[in-house]
Amino acid sequence: MSSRNTDDTTDVPAVGADSPFRQEHVLRDEAPQFVLPLVVRIEKTGPPARTDALETAARAVLVLLTDERARGEGEWAEAVRDWQDARIRKVVRRARGAEWRKAGTLPGVTVHGETSEVRVFPPVPLDGWPKELAKLQVSGTDLDDPEPVAADVEPGVPVLWLNPGLGMSAGKAMAQAGHAAQLAWWELTDAERTAWQDSGFRLAVRTAARERWAQLSGSGLPVVRDAGFTEIAPGSATVVADHPALRARL
């Protein structure tokens, strides 16, 4: 069964309409596997700040999902449906200079943060990456925050909480933050989705306090559990998506 997007206005949470984690999707591992490519620009001088890159990657996933080309009969819609019918894989690669410029010639959307640029592309078959992207490296996305990141987040801003017990590279954490944003998106009503989109998909990524992680991950908010293909053990809880609209329903 193919997942679908809906343009109908409703106050019923949209999960069940376009989420592949419906009960009937138990065979998603048998479907053809696709991956959502993201490329982060990392120049030798002036690399992006880690937290800003994570936040920009999460927003990039939401921008892709809401792009007209990814909806209805849009040119990316079939690829997005095929991707959502299988495992929701995302891979972050890095580029600079001519590599970044070549990546920018492929269909996609570039999302800008305060210090970062992330380009997201429509899903591709797991073994069918465009040559301009296939040669880009996954490793080397270790980034730092040059200044301490404020723990406080403005009220009403969705927060993607990272598991404090996991050490993830920036690229891995960017993909996990994108997963969390997508899980939150699936569970919002159409009105809540519109409000988030109208805000420019404001969000924050923070590492949870160790003493708070158990409460967050067991709260009923969306939790990303990694398949274990890279870096961390299968089933690891990596990120909790704490959207105010979802917290209000707990």
Q: What is the pLDDT of residues 127-161, one digit of tens each?
A: 999 999 999 998 766 799 999 999 899 999 999 99
Q: Which of 8-12, 48-52, 226-230 has the lowest mean pLDDT?
A: 8-12
Give me the phi and psi of 190, to 5 degrees please. -60, -40
Q: Which of 43-47, 64-68, 218-222 has the lowest mean pLDDT?
A: 43-47
Inter-residue contact 16 to 22 (CB < 8 Å): yes
Assess whether pLDDT exceeds 60 at residue 100: yes
Higher-confidence residue: 183 or 230? 183
Q: What is the mean pLDDT of the chain?
A: 88
Q: What is the pLDDT of residue 141?
A: 67
Helix (H, G, I), strand (E, B) or coil at 159: strand
Sequence letter at residue 53: A
**Range 94-120 average pLDDT:** 97
- How far is the C-alpha of 135 from the C-alpha of 43, rounded, in Å? 17
- How far is the C-alpha of 203 from the C-alpha of 196, rounded, in Å? 9
Q: What is the pLDDT of residue 138?
A: 86
Distances (CA, A) of 99 to 46, 53, 62: 17, 18, 24
With cut-offs at 50, 70 and 90, classify the pLDDT of residue 32: confident
Kindly state the percentage of the chain with pLDDT values over 90: 76
**β-pairing verdict for 89-95 and 204-207:** unpaired
**Range 5-22 average pLDDT:** 38
Tell me which residue of 10, 89, 98 sits closest to 80, measured CA to CA.
89
Assess whether pLDDT exceeds 50 at residue 57: yes
Q: In what order do the strands lie in the sheet with 237-242?
A: 204-207, 159-162, 237-242, 223-225
**Range 55-61 average pLDDT:** 98
Helix (H, G, I), strand (E, B) or coil at 246: helix
Q: Where do runs of H (alpha helix) occur along 42-96?
A: 50-66, 77-85
Higher-confidence residue: 215 or 3? 215
The encoded tokens of residue 54 equal 């994570």
125, β-bridge pairs: 34
Q: What is the pLDDT of residue 31?
A: 67
What does the DSSP assignment read for 92-143?
A: EEEE-HHHHHHHTTSS-EEEE-SS-EEEE---EETT---HHHHTSBSS----
Q: What is the pLDDT of residue 233?
A: 86
Higher-confidence residue: 78 or 141? 78
- How far is the C-alpha of 142 from the C-alpha of 169, rounded, in Å? 6
Assess whether pLDDT exceeds 70 at residue 87: yes
Q: What is the pLDDT of residue 14?
A: 40
Give me the phi and psi of 124, to 5 degrees please. -130, 155
Kindly state the percentage of the chain with pLDDT values over 70: 87
Inter-residue contact 69 to 122 (CB < 8 Å): yes
The encoded tokens of residue 144 equal 């730092």
- How far is the C-alpha of 246 from the C-alpha of 132, rounded, in Å? 39
Assess whether pLDDT exceeds 60 at residue 4: no
Q: What is the pLDDT of residues 154-198, one digit of tens each?
A: 999 999 999 999 989 999 999 999 999 999 999 999 999 999 999
